[in-house]
Amino acid sequence: MTAKKSKTENIELMISDDEKYMLAALGESRKALEENEVPIGCIIVGGDSVIARGHNLTQTLNDPTAHAEMQAITAAAAYLGGKYLDRCTLYVTVEPCPMCAAALNWAQIGKIVYGCRDPKRGFSLFKPSLLHPKTEVVSGILDGECEKLMKEFFAKKRKAKTIRKKNK
């Protein structure tokens, strides 16, 4: 547990390590948002340290595989000097897609913590699980904040599309 002072009240609130690290992943998702990317961010923790960060770069790189998780997996493997992340935890704002889940399987990630579900494209829609059998999964950490960022992003996209249609 880590103590964090609230800005609105001068009291100390206790937040879990999962919440602390999910806040860091949310920071990465805001970077994606600033780049007009789908606001998904992630970090990978090894021991007690953040060893890798990533956010969506699919538009920037014109690469459909440039998801936040893929960026972070590559960075973590380079940092550790090996492809297995079995002693690491991935924190991601949105449930990983099947492609990322399969990559996390190959990396043998120890634990995945995600914020909000992806009811249309999340890995949990597929049975049997796409993850490594030893991977632990925790969901719903700061899910309201994670989901809000996604909903606001897509609402803005839909509104811009409607305005473009009206101006034609």
Residues annotated catalytic, as ranges = 69
Q: ∠147-31-124 over CA atoms, to 5°? A: 40
Which value, in Å, is the radius of gyration of the alpha carbons in the chain?
17
Rounded CA-CA distance 65/35 in Å is: 17
> DSSP class of residue 123?
G
147 contact partners, CB below 8 Å, separation of at least 6: 115, 116
The values of phi and psi at residue 123, to 5°, are -65, -25
Closest CA to 83 of 72, 74, 96, 70: 74
Rounded CA-CA distance 40/46 in Å is: 20
